[in-house]
A and B are shown apart, each in its own frame.
Chain A
Amino acid sequence: MNDRQENIHDGAIAMRVTSLDPLSSDVIALTLMPAGARKLCYSEGQFLSLQLPGNVMRSYSMATTRRDDGRVVLHIKLRDEGFFSRMLRDGEVNTGDVIFARGPYGDCIWHDDSPGTDILMLATGTGIAPLNAILESVFRHDECSHNIYLFWGGSDVKELYLHEHFEALTARFSSFHYMPVLTGPFDRPREQTLGVQTVAATLHRDMRKVRAYACGAPGMVADAQRLFLERGLPAERFHFDSFESAIVHDMSSTSTSTSTVTVQARAPDGVRHVLALPEGATLMSALSAATMMRGVCGGQQSCGTCRVQLEPEWFDRVPGSEKTERRLLSVLDTPQPHHRLACQITLTQAMEGLSFDLPPFAGA
């Protein structure tokens, strides 16, 4: 491995492929074990990013509960035009291969709740993976103190590749309730099919004592959020992970820097983007180059269009703000305690995994 390759993998965890197992006609389980001393320590519900050839990054959720041996299982949907999908179909990934992973990322994780809180889990496709990890952890030993309702949608039961597993879980634990939602093809127009979010909202009309998790198609996630909040779900109790293909961007080619910093940015529509940004650039300039932000004033701490909301655990880890930045932040609409100007954050390796919410694209 030459120096440039070492730089590319700085901070990443080496994982060895131990098996590739088909789960359905277009989903495979990729099992990875640590190839070195470092293990991926994650909370169930989180995801990682695989660093593929050409510095292409692809994100997948861990599909099983965390184990002491560091084993990680990913559910990979094989897409026609997918970069990693093509590698898998073409036999470019084999047992024994080493792949580098970064993470963990994401905050769609289990939260303890007061008694009487119902838990709703919604999934489409491989969105089931992070929820399965959470369920494995919750039901590791005994019943859950909450009723958990899992709604998993697909056009056909064959798509629900863990269907029998969840039916068995339902039979074993009275606190677990599994409802597959099949959308067809049936003999009715598509607009009359009901998604998991609609079914869940119909059965749970009062969501004031609910916590919800939604993982899968962005449209389902956005619609679920809208429906559930209308039914009284407190906004902070809606956790989600939108799965959209090939939304990981590698911007390192736009810079002379050979080192990148991987960040995760959640857009206003809920879609999470994992980006490899050039080390040494400001977060604003890198996001602007990726056309994810319009920093109107060009980093002069004047316009506020680069204002991001950092995840709380990152706010204290990023170097503090100066007076000019704080002054501008104080006059912008709806200031929040973890707001920062992206033009004042310079990307360093210490920010590997930086997680934040993006602002709306100014002028869009």
Chain B
Amino acid sequence: MELSLNPQGLEAVGAKFDIERMLHVRNMTRDAVNAMAAAITPGMREADAIEAGKDVLADSGMLRGWHDVVIRFGRNTIKNYGEPSEPDSVLGENDIYMIDIGPIWKDWEGDCGDTFVCGSNADYARCAGDARGVFHAVRKYWLNTGATGKELYEFATEETRRRGWELNLNLAGHRLSDFPHAAAYEGLLSSIDFKPQPLLWVLEIHIRHPDRLYGAFYEDMLLDDSHFS
């Protein structure tokens, strides 16, 4: 992977930046999300799922994070980042839930989000699938064009609408780096007017039903197809 690393500017990285380590932490983060999801079962309280998620991270040496563990059940899946969940949320037999973690492993940041369903609700399953679908559609648009961050999210908005959902532009991507990326740029991917480089940015896709109280979330680094199975 070839990166043009500038010590200044929005794509700046720190002294500890390392491509292989960033990819390694990406894999660890994805594995942690899947392990958390596997431990979540109907009847579980959202708050208990978060604690169990922290146990998973602690086992991997990733309890420290550049943002908190976010797990949302049911109607809480429409909430914005930082918005408190409705209290006492319990996962139903047919339900949807999302996980978003931003751990720090040693000196490197990870970030991963995904949505899962339990039971047989087809609408929930389609929502979760479309979050991933929009992600990959935008990612391929990024791969194949010179689209800027702004243009990526214009494309994402249209792709989401085409599938029947609404895109939440408050969760519109961000930097990732050796910790803390905040030293370089704390703004949104959707605000940049140049084509983002691979590995340095996370594409966030948060979609919501236009009328009903559920949504889905998917995020991962902007990378080429070889990094996705």
Residues on A close to B: CB < 8 A? 294, 296-298, 300-305, 327-328, 331-332, 362-364
Contacts and interface: CB of A to CB of B under 8 A. Distances in A.
B180 interface: yes
Contacts of B58: 327, 331
12 contacts: A296-B182, A297-B68, A300-B68, A302-B67, A302-B69, A303-B64, A303-B66, A327-B58, A363-B14, A363-B180, A363-B182, A363-B183
A55 B63 CA distance: 42
Contacts of A328: 63-64
Given A300-B67, A303-B67, A327-B54, 5 more contacts: A294-B183, A302-B64, A302-B68, A303-B65, A363-B183
A331 B64 contact: yes
A273 B182 CA distance: 25
B68 to A, nearest CB: 4
Contacts of B179: 296, 303, 362-363
A294 B182 contact: yes
B57 to A, nearest CB: 10
B104 interface: yes
Nearest to B183: A363
A297 B182 CA distance: 10
A297 B63 contact: no
Interface in B147-197: 179-180, 182-184
Given A300-B68, A302-B68, A331 B180 contact: no
Given A303-B104, A327-B54, A331-B58, A362 B65 contact: no
A294 B66 CA distance: 12
Nearest to B65: A302
A222 B32 CA distance: 44
A364 B180 CA distance: 10
SS class, residues of chain A in contact with chain B: loop
A327 B65 CA distance: 13
Contacts of B183: 294, 362-364
A360 to B, nearest CB: 12
Contact of B180 (A294, A327, A332): A294
Interface in B89-116: 102, 104
Contacts, number: 52
A305 B63 CA distance: 14
Report which residue of A297, A301, A304 has the largest number of chain B beta carbons within 10 angstroms of its beta carbon: A297
List 9 tightest A-B contacts by C-beta distance, closest first: A363-B183, A300-B68, A302-B65, A302-B68, A363-B180, A296-B180, A331-B63, A362-B180, A296-B182
Contacts of A364: 183
Contacts of B102: 302
Nearest to A303: B66
Interface centre among A301, A327, A364 (most CB of B within 10 A): A327
A362 to B, nearest CB: 5
Most buried by B among A296, A301, A328, A364: A296
Nearest to B184: A363
A363 B102 CA distance: 17
A203 to B, nearest CB: 39
B203 to A, nearest CB: 21
A297 B14 contact: no
A300 B69 CA distance: 9
B15 to A, nearest CB: 10
Interface string B37-80: 00000000000000000100010000111111100000000000
A339 B168 CA distance: 38
Given A327-B54, A331-B58, A363-B14, A302 B66 contact: yes
A301 B182 contact: no
A153 B123 CA distance: 78
B183 to A, nearest CB: 3
A304 B64 CA distance: 7
Given A327-B63, A331-B58, A331-B63, A305 B180 contact: yes
Contacts of A362: 179-180, 182-183
A296 B109 CA distance: 12
A303 B63 CA distance: 9
Which of A297, A298, A302 has the most B CB atoms < 10 Å from its CB?
A302
Nearest to B103: A302
A327 B82 CA distance: 21
Contacts of B66: 296-297, 302-303
Contact of B68 (A301, A305, A332, A363): A301
A270 B8 CA distance: 29
A304 B67 CA distance: 10
Nearest to B181: A363
A243 to B, nearest CB: 30
Nearest to A299: B68
Contacts of B68: 297, 300-302
Contacts of B54: 327
A302 B63 CA distance: 8
Nearest to B178: A363
Contacts of B180: 294, 296, 303, 305, 362-363
Contacts of A301: 68
A363 B186 CA distance: 12
A43 to B, nearest CB: 38
A231 B91 CA distance: 63
Contacts of A331: 58, 63-64
Nearest to B68: A300
Contacts of A294: 180, 182-183
